[in-house]
Structure 1
Amino acid sequence: MRARRALCGAARREWGPLAGAVRGALVERRWRAVAMTLAAVCLTGLLHVVQNQPWGMGPVRVLGAVRAEDPLWLALARTPLSLFVPAPDLPVWGALAQILVVFGTAEICLGRRRTLMIAYLATLAGTLYARIGVALGPGIPLGLPDSDARIVDTGPSAAVVGLAVYVCFVHRARFTGALVIVAMVAEVAVKDNLAGKEHLVAIAAVLVLCACTGRRDRRRAQESRPGSGTRSGAPPIRS
């Protein structure tokens, strides 16, 4: 009984603030709280339907397919849409569920602008890593074989992983954030492929952002303390 209470208390500390924020926003604003997320789910579903038509794969590849062998400017131009193009070899319901849950939580907790910024940061980090890894070659720990340059690299997974880690950082859900990172490391250990390594690079990019955010918040907290020597809203005292 005591162990059960301790477990429940730990769960409330871990997920309580996050669950409260999500529940409150959904009760107050309902679907409007996750309007961007619902639009992203619809766009991903639409692209899945289109690319599975005989006439649709070509246009989707032209607009949203990213490969490491493509010119950099072309990869960067395709990256925004590539986030919502589900990988053709994976079930689409997985991508839709990831977007709905993780993007929805991030949209409520972080706001739409910051959610998109972090999602594209994580996706872009993975895209750039693929090019660097192929250039390094397979003989180096972070290197990739030449065949990976031809892999079509799309889908929301890198963005989902990055957003999950950042939301856990903001709401102090340290155990959950660590669990996400451990799961991605285990993915690479079990199946050493391009997608798994891109997930790790996306996490690394978001962790750098978390460190910068934490440093900025600590500096602001120090500046706001009485007697910190910084200016407040009152005019300076002249002698």
Structure 2
Amino acid sequence: MLHEWRNVVATPCRRLRERGPLGVSLAVIACVAVIGLHEFQQTAAGAGVVRVLSEVRADQPVWLTLLRTPVSLFVPAVDLPAWGGLPRLFLAFALAELLFGRVRTLAVAYAVTLAGTLGARVMIALGPGRLGVPAEAAHTVDTGASAAIVGLFAYTAVAVRSPLLFLAAVVPTVTGSIAEPNLAGREHLIAVAVAMVLGAVSRGAHCQRPLPVSKAADRDVTQDGKAAQDGKVTHDREAGQGGEGGHGAEAGWGRETGEGDSRCRRPAGHGRDGRDPQR
């Protein structure tokens, strides 16, 4: 429980304090895009533009689906309320952005959405049955961020090892998709499966990465090595002075009294002024 609290709540809150509002800029942009495209779609001119840019169906060429999928991710489905899904959209993108960064969040959201869209083509090709869907589903418009939302929650839960997050944010969607096996529900199941695989791969790569050595540790090691080297030099100097015997002591006494080596070289019988006392 403490591990999950730290990974899902404490760490994102700390990074939000460090980065400020820019830490969830992608989540804010996603919400603004959904609201803006929804309102623009309600106008006569905007409906045609949004349809050309974002309408994805299984009867389209694959290349056209690949081009329209990024925009279709932020266009709410016609039969679903746009405002009701905004809290889940913001929470999914904000949590993933704070934990993994903007680039990985966008990559995972696009990957799971595209996987669901391409998976729908496979299920339509299989035909009616346990794994397939009727051919009429090929004409269904497939837009919305629901697959990306549940996919981001599943990816985050697996990557940070949070069963409670998976239970709260992913299991209800999976249960509803199984209870009502339509095309959208099947796409959600595919998105969850792909997100879990991506999360497991990401976590495995993170565990195999070598632990970085902190700067403080490097500084301590450097200081210890320098102290050891200084201690060795001091020891060598003391050993060298001890080997000189009394001469070393006398030379040291001469330096302390200010006479230096001149006292040792003064001719015998001369005073401090250099004169011979017998003269």
What is the TM-score with the length of structure 2 in the denominator? 0.71
Structure 1 range deviating more: 173-182 or 142-151 = 173-182
CA contact (8 A) 2:150 2:191 kept: yes
Shift of 1:189: 2.8
Structure 2 unaligned spans of 5+: 213-279
Q: Which amino acid aligns with 1:202?
A: A
Task: State the match for 2:71 in structure 1.
Answer: 81
Matches within 5 A, 1:34-183: 34-139=24-129, 141-183=130-172
Shift of 1:178: 4.3
The ranges of structure 1 where at least 4 consecutive aligned residues each deviate by more than 6 angstroms after the TM superposition are none
How many angstroms apart in 2 are the aligned matches of 1:46 and 1:19?
30
RMSD of aligned residue pairs (Cα, Å): 1.9
How many angstroms apart in 2 are the aligned matches of 1:102 and 1:185?
16
Tell me how many residue pairs correspond in the alignment.
212
How many angstroms apart in 1 are the aligned matches of 2:26 and 2:89?
10
In the superposition, relative to structure 1, how do residues 39 and 169 fare at CA in structure 2: closer, same or farther (>3 Å)?
A: same
Structure 1 unaligned spans of 5+: 1-9, 225-239
Q: Which amino acid aligns with 1:193?
A: N
Shift of 1:29: 2.4
SS at match of 1:92: coil
Match among 1, 14, 17 for residue 7 of structure 2? 17
Shift of 1:18: 1.6
Matches within 5 A, 1:188-203: 188-203=177-192
Task: State the match for 1:33 in structure 2.
Answer: 23
Give the structure with higher Rg (CA): 2
How many angstroms apart in 2 are the aligned matches of 1:217 and 1:32?
25
Structure with more relative contact order (C-alpha pairs < 8 Å, separation 6 or more)? 1
What is the TM-score with the length of structure 1 in the denominator? 0.82
In the superposition, relative to structure 1, how do residues 27 and 216 fare at CA in structure 2: closer, same or farther (>3 Å)?
A: closer
SS at match of 2:76: coil
How many angstroms apart in 2 are the aligned matches of 1:31 and 1:179?
26
Shift of 1:169: 1.8
CA contact (8 A) 1:137 1:144 kept: yes
How far does the alpha carbon of each residue in 1:6-50 deviate from its partner, in whole angstroms, 9 at most, with x for none?
A: xxxx3x433332211221122222211111211111111110001
Q: Which amino acid aligns with 1:133?
A: M
